[in-house]
Amino acid sequence: MSEKARKLFDALDLNEDGELTRAEVISALRAKGPALAARGDLPFWGVGDAVASSALFDAADANGDAVLSFEEFAAVVDRRFGW
């Protein structure tokens, strides 16, 4: 699991509970996505609309429990973003 995945996960974890919900991912990417991309913490093409953010969430939710652990999140973003 990459350090970049950890930084991104922490930035998206708005309530700092160690898990990401779909609403949290969509809201955080909408609010913070451009700044994260400008800092290099997210590829510019990774800043998408709600549909793209939701698709990323679905791809990462390996166990289908509607929340993402860091491990689920990192497995997908490391592969998808080439980290």
| Tens-digit pLDDT profile for residues 2-59 | 899 999 999 999 999 999 999 999 999 889 989 998 998 888 877 778 888 888 899 9
Largest Cα–Cα separation, the chain: 32
pTM of the full predicted structure? 0.88
Residue-level pLDDT at 76:
92
Query: 3-80 adopts what CATH topology?
Result: Recoverin; domain 1 (1.10.238)
Residue-level pLDDT at 17:
98
